């Protein structure tokens, strides 16, 4: 019998959590489901544990990637192997409540929704709990509210997911009609993307879904402290990987945009701008956070591989204008006064000595620090 719902879990080196995850999926009270676990080239005992579990439940299948190919490729492999008319994704360090699938499926079928989002319960990892401040910020970020979107155009859901954040752009904690994911994945060809890979496919979902329901009931148990999203701090190597992922996403989303109806060209263009704004903010936040560290120049040089000099100056000033602390906002005019100097240094930045790169990027930051010290 063809399963009605495919539950697709993915993981890399998750031997600590994989059995707990699979047990929660096998405990679903929805009858006609299949469970696929995609092991993304793990080097620990994750795959072996999953294979052993599969022997105890014939609904479970294990797919092994030939090497670590990234989360985007792992989800795609699971999607291609899944047979259900409805799809839901789970990360291997997370769990579902026993009624998660039946709850979302009943809502989707009763109202003919293309996507149903359900809430997350954030659970600190026992061995690596986040600090209290970070935990509170993540709880606020991942909070789902009761909202309904009907007769959607791309602009409606792109705005809700990327600008107002009324809905999330996470791929997990949602149930999808298969046809919507088929359209969202149409442009994807196994490119390696690991950081914010959810945004890559969610962009397509927002473009193609005609109806979307968000529910506040918490059915997804999200482990805080284990994944890329919830780990604090960043190393240069991770920053380098993130930059590469970000610009791969930009390239792929532009490709996806060319496949949309011309009537939605403005919607897609605005959606792409929102994605780039999100990425620019994260990049600037990281670089600014390293200003007093010895390795700041290495972070700046990495940034200069992807942005022109003028772009670097502009995105930093935009970051200060929109995202810095309220106490700094009165000094934005002063920041803009040094923008011309910043951009002058930044021009031709790819060919400049590192000290010029450093000065171009740090000039606005140093000025703000000086102003804040003067105020104090």
Q: Is the pLDDT of residue 376 over 50?
A: no
pLDDT of residue 113: 98
| DSSP-derived secondary structure for 145-194 | --EEE-S--HHHHHHHHHTS-SS---SSSEEEEHHHHHHHTTT-------
Task: Find the helix or strand (DSSP H, E) in which 118 lies.
Answer: strand 115-124
Dump pLDDT digits (tens) for 111-155.
999 999 999 998 887 766 655 665 666 666 667 789 999 999 999
75-79, 247-251, 350-354: least confident range: 350-354
pLDDT of residue 47: 97
Phi, psi angles (nearest 5°) of residue 350: -65, -20
Q: Is the pLDDT of residue 254 over 90?
A: no
Mean pLDDT score of the chain, rounded to an integer? 83
pLDDT of residue 205: 95
Q: In Å, how far are 14, 40, 158, 244, 299 from 186, measured between CA atoms?
A: 29, 21, 18, 22, 34
In our burial notation (b when 16+ CB lie closer than 10 A, e otherwise), range 327-364 reads ebeebbeebeebbeebbebbeebeebeeebbbbbbbbb
Dump pLDDT digits (tens) for 279-304.
998 898 888 777 667 777 788 888 88
Dump pLDDT digits (tens) for 157-201.
999 999 999 999 999 999 999 999 999 998 888 899 988 899 999
pLDDT of residue 349: 39
pLDDT of residue 57: 97
Q: How confident is the model at residue 229 (pLDDT cuts 50, 70, 90)?
A: very low
pLDDT higher for 132 or 106? 106
For 6, the token pair is: 């495919």
pLDDT of residue 147: 94
Q: How confident is the model at residue 230 (pLDDT cuts 50, 70, 90)?
A: very low
pLDDT of residue 280: 92
Pairing between β-strand 115-124 and β-strand 174-177 as defined by DSSP bridges: antiparallel
CATH number given to 5-224:
3.90.550.10
Q: In Å, how far are 61, 91, 144 from 73, measured between CA atoms?
A: 17, 13, 27
Dump pLDDT digits (tens) for 305-364.
898 777 877 787 777 666 655 555 555 555 555 555 444 444 443 344 444 445 545 555
pLDDT of residue 355: 42
Domain ranges of the chain: 5-224, 236-375
pLDDT of residue 357: 46
| DSSP-derived secondary structure for 268-325 | HHHHHHHHHHHHHHHHHHHHHHTTTSTTHHHHHHHHHTTS-HHHHHHHHHHHHHHHS-
pLDDT of residue 334: 57
Phi, psi angles (nearest 5°) of residue 218: -90, 110
pLDDT of residue 345: 45
pLDDT of residue 125: 77
Give a three-class secondary structure readout of 50-85: HHHHHCCCCCEEEEECCCCCCHHHHHHHHHHHCCCC
pLDDT of residue 329: 55
pLDDT of residue 291: 65
Dump pLDDT digits (tens) for 273-284.
999 999 998 898
Residue where the block lists tokens 């359900």: 118
Residues in contact with 180: Cβ distance below 8 Å, sequence separation at least 6, in sequence order: 114, 115, 205, 208, 209
| DSSP-derived secondary structure for 138-158 | HHHHT----EEE-S--HHHHH
Provide the percentage of residues in the chain whose pLDDT is more than 70: 76
pLDDT of residue 137: 62
């Amino acid at each position: 019998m063809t399963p009605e719902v495919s539950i697709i879990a993915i993981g890399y080196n998750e031997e600590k959590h994989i059995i707990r995850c699979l047990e929660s999926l096998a405990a679903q009270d929805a009858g006609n489901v299949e469970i696929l676990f995609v092991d993304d080239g793990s080097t620990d005992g994750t795959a072996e544990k999953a294979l052993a579990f599969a022997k105890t439940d014939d609904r479970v299948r294990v797919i092994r990637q030939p090497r670590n190919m990234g989360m985007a490729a792992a989800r795609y492999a699971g999607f291609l192997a899944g047979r259900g008319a409805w799809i839901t994704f789970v990360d291997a360090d997370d769990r579902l409540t026993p009624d998660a699938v039946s709850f979302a499926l009943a809502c989707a079928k009763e109202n003919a929704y293309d996507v149903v989002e359900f809430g997350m319960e954030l659970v600190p990892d026992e061995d690596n709990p986040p600090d209290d401040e970070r935990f509170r910020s993540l709880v606020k970020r991942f909070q789902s509210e009761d909202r309904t979107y009907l007769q959607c155009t791309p602009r409606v859901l792109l705005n809700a997911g990327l600008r107002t954040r009324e809905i999330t752009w996470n791929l997990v904690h949602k149930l999808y009609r298969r046809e919507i994911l088929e359209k969202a994945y149409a442009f994807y060809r196994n490119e390696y993307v690991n950081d914010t890979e959810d945004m890559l496919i969610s962009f397509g979902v927002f473009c193609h879904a005609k109806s979307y329901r968000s529910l506040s009931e918490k059915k997804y148990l999200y482990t805080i402290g284990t994944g890329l999203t919830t780990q604090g701090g960043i190393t240069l190597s991770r920053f380098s990987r993130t930059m590469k992922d970000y610009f791969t996403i930009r390239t792929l989303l532009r490709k996806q945009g060319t496949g949309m109806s011309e009537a939605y060209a403005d919607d897609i263009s605005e959606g792409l701008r929102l994605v780039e704004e999100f990425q620019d903010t994260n990049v600037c936040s990281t670089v600014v956070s390293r200003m007093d560290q010895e390795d700041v120049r290495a972070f700046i040089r990495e940034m200069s591989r992807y942005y022109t000099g003028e772009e670097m100056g502009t995105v930093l000033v935009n970051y200060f204008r929109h995202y810095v602390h309220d106490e700094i906002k009165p000094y934005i005019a002063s920041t803009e006064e040094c923008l011309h100097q910043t951009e002058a240094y930044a021009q031709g930045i790819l060919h400049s000595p590192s000290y010029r790169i450093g000065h171009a990027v740090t000039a606005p930051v140093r000025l703000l620090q000086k102003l804040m010290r003067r105020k104090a």
